[in-house]
C-alpha cells in the first residue's frame, strides 16, 4: 500500500516517472528547484537551482512536505497520507446550509476549487419561506451571489476558510418603526444587496464529505424602505452550519 501511495505522490507532483533535478515541496503546495541541499533537524538549507552562485537559503523543516532528489529518493517531512489528501482532493462541492432552516430559508450552493486547492468560487442559491426572519428585520425570499473562498493551508482534513462574499436578493419587511412603536403590518417587498467577509473551519473526515461552520459579517443595503425607517445601510451578519458532498 505504501508503494502505491509513493507512486501516486510522484505522479501528482511531477506527472513523470523521474526527476530532472532536486525539488523541495512545501506544505503550501509550492515547488522549489534546488541544489546543494543540507538537511538539519530544524531547517533545510539549499541554493536556488537557477542561481547556483547565489546565496544559501534556509527554510524551516515544519514548512516542508517532502524533498524529491534527482536520483529518485524521496524524504518525507510529514505523513504520506496527508500529502496525498492535500494533493488529491475533490474539486467540486455541493453544499446544504443546515442552519438556514432556523431563519426559514432553504439554501444550497455549488463551489469549484482550483487546482492548487487554495481558492474556491462558490455560488449560493436560497429560497425563503415562513413569516419571520428572527435575526433580521427583513424576511428572505430569494438570494444568490458569489463567495470567493481562500484556503491558506490548501486542502486537508482540517482547514481554515476566509474570503469576501456578495449577495443580491429580494425580501419582505418583518417589521418597521412607526411613531413610537414597532409594527408588523408593512408587507412591501424590497431588493437588497450585501457585502460580507466570511471566516470558518472545515472538517473533511472522508474524501467525499465535509462539515463546516462559517461566520459572516458585513453591510447590507436595501432598495425600498418603510416610512420613518432610516437604515438603508446597516451592519449584518450570520452563522452557517453546512454539510457538503465533494465530487
Rounded-to-10 torsion of CA 9, 11, 12, 14: 110
Cα 169-234-212 angle, rounded to 5 deg: 60
- Torsion angles phi and psi, residue 13, rounded to 5: -80, -30
- Please identify, in words, the CATH class of the domain defined by 2-87: mainly beta
Domains 2-87 and 92-246 share a fold: no
- In tens, the pLDDT along 46-98 reads 999 988 888 999 999 999 988 988 887 888 898 877 777 667 788 999 999 99
Fold of 92-246: Porin (2.40.160)
What does the pLDDT read at residue 80?
78
In the chain, what are the domain boundaries?
2-87, 92-246
pTM recorded for the entire structure = 0.72
Cα 100-104-105 angle, rounded to 5 deg: 55
Instruction: pLDDT band for 244, please (50, 70, 90 cuts).
Output: very high
Range of lowest pLDDT (127-141, 190-204, 215-229):
127-141
Amino acid at each position: 500500500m505504501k508503494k502505491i501511495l509513493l507512486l501516486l505522490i510522484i505522479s501528482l507532483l511531477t506527472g513523470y516517472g523521474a526527476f530532472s533535478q532536486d525539488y523541495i515541496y512545501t506544505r503550501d503546495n509550492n515547488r522549489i528547484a534546488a541544489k546543494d541541499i543540507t538537511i538539519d533537524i530544524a531547517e533545510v538549507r539549499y541554493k536556488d537551482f537557477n542561481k547556483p552562485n547565489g546565496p544559501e537559503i534556509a527554510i524551516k523543516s515544519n514548512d516542508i512536505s517532502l524533498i524529491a532528489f534527482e536520483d529518485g529518493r524521496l524524504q518525507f517531512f510529514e505523513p504520506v497520507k496527508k500529502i496525498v489528501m492535500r494533493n488529491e482532493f475533490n474539486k467540486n462541492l455541493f453544499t446544504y446550509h443546515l442552519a438556514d432552516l432556523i431563519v426559514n430559508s432553504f439554501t444550497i450552493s455549488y463551489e469549484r476549487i482550483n487546482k492548487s486547492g487554495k481558492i474556491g468560487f462558490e455560488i449560493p442559491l436560497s429560497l425563503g419561506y415562513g413569516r419571520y426572519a428572527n435575526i433580521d428585520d427583513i424576511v428572505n425570499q430569494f438570494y444568490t451571489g458569489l463567495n470567493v473562498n481562500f484556503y491558506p493551508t490548501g486542502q486537508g482534513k482540517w482547514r481554515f476558510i476566509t474570503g469576501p462574499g456578495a449577495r443580491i436578493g429580494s425580501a419582505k419587511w418583518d417589521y418597521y418603526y412607526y411613531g413610537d412603536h414597532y409594527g408588523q403590518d408593512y408587507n412591501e417587498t424590497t431588493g437588497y444587496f450585501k457585502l460580507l467577509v466570511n471566516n470558518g473551519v472545515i472538517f473533511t473526515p472522508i474524501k467525499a464529505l465535509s462539515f463546516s461552520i462559517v461566520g459572516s459579517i458585513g453591510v447590507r443595503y436595501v432598495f425600498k424602505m418603510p416610512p420613518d425607517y432610516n437604515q438603508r445601510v446597516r451592519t449584518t451578519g450570520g452563522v452557517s452550519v453546512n454539510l457538503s458532498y465533494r465530487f
